[in-house]
Structure 1
Amino acid sequence: MTAGTGSVWELSQADLAIRMILAAALGGLIGIEREWSNHAAGFRTHILVCLGSATIMLMSLYGFSQFVNEPNVQVDPARLAAQVISGIGFLGAGAILRNGDVIKGLTTAASIWTVAAIGLCVGAGFFTGALICTFLVLVSLYMLNKWEKRLLRHRRFCSVEITVSNDHGSLGAIASVFMERRMQISALKINPVSGGTGNERELRLEIKLKSVRQDALVEAVEEIGMLDVVKKIETAGLNAAEAKRAG
């Protein structure tokens, strides 16, 4: 497809529409996978980012064509594109969430940044690069995600926060529950809970477990929750159905 009939700085209306539609379609393909996986930035967000990037690239290339022949004007088509790459980070930062030691949203943030690059490619007419990039992103998000989960299924970690009364033997009772199910404690932090005094003082135990099976974790949480010394228990690492059961 040619950029235009008269000059490299000209673009037909049909070519303009094709590029913008293609950008929306490619961004939507990646967005569907994120939407299917219930991530914060999904179908519409990826479409808007890709389409917006393509539009900015088109404006940078062809929006100032009337000034090209001016003797005192220098046209730099890469300036607006560079601002897209650096400025798209605010959306990625909004997709990253942290809950204790668990950080979520990094892959979605990376996909948003990559979608912006795809949009710039489509806007500049670099269709082959845009299509190859879209294909590789989909392979990475869908196929490699399954392979990664299978490869690292034995290296799963889970965080458990337990608020207990400051009684003698409370930590030993909780640790014994995990040991009975062969759950290895890889890290332990003990923090006092403000507001308590004397024997009524409470402690917050931050426990990180290694190589945790979901069913064993649910059983351990249920048993620990029935201990008299336990005031509150929170877990990071259970899916929705198992968390409801444990709660």
Structure 2
Amino acid sequence: MLEIILKLVAALLVGGVLGWEREKRQKTAGLRTYMLVSLGSAVFMIAGLHLQEDVGPTELSAVRIDVSRVFAAIIGGIGFLGAGSIIESRGGVRGITTAAGVWVAASGGIACGCGYYDLALVATLLAWVVIVGVGRFERWHFESENE
């Protein structure tokens, strides 16, 4: 049980780190959305891995557990959320960074659900650098270019 709690808390932290800046900038998907996406992804992965472990190797083709299908299902669901954040654009194409951030938050949740904390940490830090650092650079560069 402690391992499950660790995985889920790590997933919440991944989503929280990425969602904080989006919340601060009042984007469509903010802190809670990112945290829930990451948490949900981790839960699906943990459940898939436990189910695979419980069923074990079997000769029966009807009882085959393929955890990679869990990845595919998560990616499909996140694509739906991402499209929703892009469509809510009010006349222009907006929300693509938010959609990409939600996608990365889901990947961090998947990594935490699998117990790959080092992967989740590095990916989260890199995504944070892109969202915050590159975002600041873009605003600075384009503001100075327009002057």
Length-normalised TM-score, structure 2: 0.89
Counterpart of 1:38 in 2: which secondary structure?
coil
Counterpart of 1:63 in 2: which secondary structure?
helix
Find the aligned partners of 1:112 and 1:43 in 2 and give their Cα distance.
10
User: Which letter maps to 1:22?
Assistant: A
- Which of the two has greater helix per residue? 2
- Which of the two has greater strand per residue? 1
User: Which letter maps to 1:126?
Assistant: Y
- Are 2:7 and 1:16 equivalent residues in the alignment? no
Find the aligned partners of 1:84 and 1:15 in 2 and give their Cα distance.
22
Question: How much does 1:59 deviate?
Answer: 0.8
Question: How much does 1:150 deviate?
Answer: 1.9
1:36 pairs with 13, 16, 24, which one?
24
Partner of 1:48: 36
- Are 2:89 and 1:92 equivalent residues in the alignment? no
- RMSD (CA atoms): 1.6
Partner of 2:119: 129
Structure of higher RCO (CA pairs closer than 8 Å, 6+ residues apart) = 2
Query: Which ranges of structure 2 fall in alignment gaps of 5 or more residues?
Result: none
Identity of aligned residues (%): 35
Partner of 1:74: 64
Query: Which ranges of structure 1 fall in alignment gaps of 5 or more residues?
Result: 1-12, 156-210, 214-247
* Structure ID, larger Rg: 1
Counterpart of 2:89 in 1: which secondary structure?
strand
Question: How much does 1:153 deviate?
Answer: 2.6
Find the aligned partners of 1:60 and 1:99 in 2 and give their Cα distance.
38
Aligned length: 144
Deviations 1:189-209 (A, max 9, x none): xxxxxxxxxxxxxxxxxxxxx
**Kept in 1: contact 2:14–2:124 (CA 8 A):** yes
